[in-house]
């Protein structure tokens, strides 16, 4: 399960905010709230400019970028990086260790999540 997350927002009005979450439950709740409470949907560009990755030993980084929609209306762009590690306790499958989500150029900024 994801242990850390950073959610950064940068609006067209130059309002910037960064939220940091630690622990699987807080991370899951925040990402869940973006979809359920705030109707934020991330649509990655499915081409080499929208999805990229790198590998160093057992660690992998995957980066996705694309558009942000709210209630099917375009509100901006996003970039999300995932750090993955092999987990020997799960047959050496990769597990997300942390993620960093940046919402840019948005006319709508999600409210900070209250845990």
> Which of 38, 101, 98, 49 minimizes the C-alpha distance to 73?
38
Q: Tens digit of pLDDT for each residue in 16-58?
A: 778 888 888 888 888 888 888 888 899 999 888 899 999 998 8
Q: Tens digit of pLDDT for each residue in 84-113?
A: 988 888 888 888 888 888 888 655 555 555
d(CA 83, CA 91): 18
d(CA 15, CA 27): 23
Q: Is the dihedral of CA 65, 66, 71, 73 positive or negative?
A: positive
Which of residues 19 and 83 earns the better pLDDT score? 83
Residue pair 28/1 in contact (Cβ under 8 Å)? The answer is: yes
Query: Is residue 6 very low, low, confident or very high in pLDDT (cuts 50, 70, 90)?
Result: confident
pTM for the structure as a whole: 0.79
């Amino acid at each position: 399960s994801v242990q850390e997350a950073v959610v950064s927002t940068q609006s067209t009005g130059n309002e910037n905010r960064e939220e940091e979450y630690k622990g699987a439950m807080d991370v899951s709740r925040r990402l869940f709230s973006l979809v359920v409470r705030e109707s934020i949907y991330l649509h990655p560009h499915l081409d080499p400019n929208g999805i990229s990755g790198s590998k160093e030993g057992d660690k992998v980084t995957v980066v996705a970028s694309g558009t942000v929609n709210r209630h099917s209306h375009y509100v901006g762009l996003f970039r999300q990086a995932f750090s993955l590690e092999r987990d020997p306790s799960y047959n050496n499958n990769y597990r997300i260790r942390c993620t960093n989500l940046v919402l840019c150029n948005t006319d709508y900024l999600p409210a900070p999540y209250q845990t």
